[in-house]
Structure 1
């Protein structure tokens, strides 16, 4: 709070004081009071008023500056009202009371929202586990009675199963790390698991996987990594050209291991590339393929960040796309205390 701002706020009080001083001077002059006495009275009046003004300014400036400093330094700003000391002036006391009431209301609303969100996620988890049962049963019935119609139904059920799995990860995306199980595995195991899930659509698309030196040990959550690799394979199938080929290769450095997943599909335009991880973004390819949702890569990026995996995409339009997953090595994780 600056002095100029304070005085501007007190302009009416200053005018009243000035008018009072002039009226007092006029009154004393009319009753023929000696000039020395008039000067003495005016000095006392002005000194008392200015002293009160200066005292009020400094105590309020000190308190409000402290308030602003605390506001800037706090991460949980909704707790500001609870940490403030009670000031010795009425305006500050009213302000603190309002802040505390607002903070209590805000915290109650946040608590209610968190509870509703938690109940919603629990319901989604329950629903997903329930819906998987009839899907599995239907696929078993198809296995016992295969014909062109049931096989087409099986393809649709597989798509439903994939979307259900995506919904599960989306519902858990806020605290998915609670479900992580970090363990030793290999890139080959992760890629094989993802290819197994998408083997049928890959075969139907006439695709061919190429695996190069994937028997490299890593430490990661197998389930989540398999989901991410599966989303990348799914996109390669969706945005393919003729003679689809998906190549898996690796590179080992001191502190990380990189998995490169490259396809020879239609690629991604330079304008869309920076936004491929945005929620719901489908871009130019999404307008050409109506089944795009823009959720797969968004979820993949969110999962990878929680697993300390760097996920990035590079592409040449018309030539294909390469998705890179950079895993931290076990030794690096131990040095970092992870």
Structure 2
């Protein structure tokens, strides 16, 4: 603190000593020209006197600043809360320049605080609107599903059956979009809606596959669950983990080659201290240059140009939730050969 104080006043110190030396030099020249006797002790006295006044001035200045500087240097810029900085801005400033600076900081702080409050209010209103809208849409979505099922039962014509199948297919896409939107809106409150518990992976996979069985049937795809270990129970949050797995299954369905009887294989393996779930398809794959960015929000890549309904948010949601759960989510893919997503659970997660 003292070192910085003196460093800030170094130009003043240099200027005072320089002016003192100039004064002594002028005195020496004047005495020489007048033929007077030079007194070395007088020059030393002048230098000491200048130093004394300089030290006195610096001491008075330091005492004025000491209390303010002490509180300023007590603040850690990397871990300090805004409250400590606000306390500093309300202290009595030692100089008019410092007072002006603190006034500017206070004004900016008040303006920023008001903006944050407004942002939080707008965000909560938007979140409330999204939640209400999604829940309101679930009712007509369920009605459409029931009506299309009844229509299929009563329709004898294959063309009419296909028509109702298309309605159900689009309704399922609508449902997936609503679920994705709702889960994204809930991410901010993840810690409030989290419960760690043992989760049986095989059972959870069966439930997710059963929910999407119509999609498998419509696209002539076959789900397969392979257990390469007896350890199929992991520690996680069942609801959030279901969201991750469901999103990965939906992606595998959407990007598989339809109508060829291809498989989507879910394999559970034990690897040292971890259990891994591999979800593998034999679909269109992901270009190598797109792989590093597939978990970025709104990134659709080359495949997004082929499938215009892609949002680029599915894998982002899955990776974000997996990270919050303490799990690892990675992806490997080869163009036109398929994609393998790996979800890893370790004993150290959660």
> What is the TM-score when the length of structure 2 is the normalising length?
0.77
Secondary structure at 2:227's aligned position in 1? coil
1:144 pairs with one of 142, 145, 150 = 150
Pair 1:193-2:207 in alignment? yes
Query: Greater shift after overlay, 181-190 or 166-175?
Result: 181-190
* 2:198 equivalent in structure 1: 184
**2:225–2:265 contact (8 Å) kept in structure 1:** yes
Secondary structure at 2:312's aligned position in 1? coil
* 2:157 equivalent in structure 1: none
Query: Greater shift after overlay, 163-172 or 246-255?
Result: 246-255
For residues 122 and 256 of structure 1, what CA distance do their matches in structure 2 show?
A: 39
Structure 1 unmatched runs, 5+: none
Distance 1:162 1:93, change over 3 A: same
Pair 1:70-2:75 in alignment? yes
Deviation at 1:171, TM superposition (A): 1.1
Deviation at 1:97, TM superposition (A): 4.3
Q: Deviations over 1:250-304 (max 9, x none)?
A: 1224643211111112222332222211111122222332222210000011111
Aligned pairs (5 A) from 1:135-174 = 135-146=141-152, 147=160, 148-174=162-188
Secondary structure at 1:149's aligned position in 2? helix
Q: Deviations over 1:136-165 (max 9, x none)?
A: 112222222223333322221111111011
**2:227–2:269 contact (8 Å) kept in structure 1:** no
2:226 pairs with one of 209, 212, 215 = 212
RMSD of Structure 2 on Structure 1 (CA): 3.8
Secondary structure at 1:121's aligned position in 2? helix
Q: Deviations over 1:52-91 (max 9, x none)?
A: 2476479869966974672433254x33422438366214
Distance 1:125 1:324, change over 3 A: same
Q: Deviations over 1:224-274 (max 9, x none)?
A: 222222221222222223442211111224643211111112222332222
Secondary structure at 1:290's aligned position in 2? coil
For residues 137 and 205 of structure 1, what CA distance do their matches in structure 2 show?
A: 23
Secondary structure at 1:219's aligned position in 2? strand
* 2:156 equivalent in structure 1: none
Deviation at 1:193, TM superposition (A): 2.1
> What is the TM-score when the length of structure 1 is the normalising length?
0.80
Query: Greater shift after overlay, 318-327 or 98-107?
Result: 98-107
Secondary structure at 2:77's aligned position in 1? helix
**2:223–2:265 contact (8 Å) kept in structure 1:** yes
* 1:225 equivalent in structure 2: 241
Aligned pairs (5 A) from 1:69-148 = 70-74=75-79, 76=81, 78-84=82-88, 86=91, 89-90=94-95, 91-146=97-152, 147=160, 148=162
For residues 306 and 75 of structure 1, what CA distance do their matches in structure 2 show?
A: 25
Secondary structure at 2:75's aligned position in 1? helix
For residues 64 and 277 of structure 1, what CA distance do their matches in structure 2 show?
A: 47
How many residues align structurally?
Answer: 328
Report which of the two structures shows the higher radius of gyration computed on alpha carbons: 2
1:6 pairs with one of 5, 8, 29 = 8
For residues 75 and 55 of structure 2, what CA distance do their matches in structure 1 show?
A: 30
Query: Greater shift after overlay, 254-263 or 212-221?
Result: 212-221
Q: Deviations over 1:84-103 (max 9, x none)?
A: 38366214444444434433
Q: Deviations over 1:112-131 (max 9, x none)?
A: 32232122212211111111
1:238 pairs with one of 254, 269, 288 = 254
**1:194–1:227 contact (8 Å) kept in structure 2:** no
Distance 1:88 1:159, change over 3 A: closer
Query: Greater shift after overlay, 187-196 or 157-166?
Result: 187-196
* 1:302 equivalent in structure 2: 320
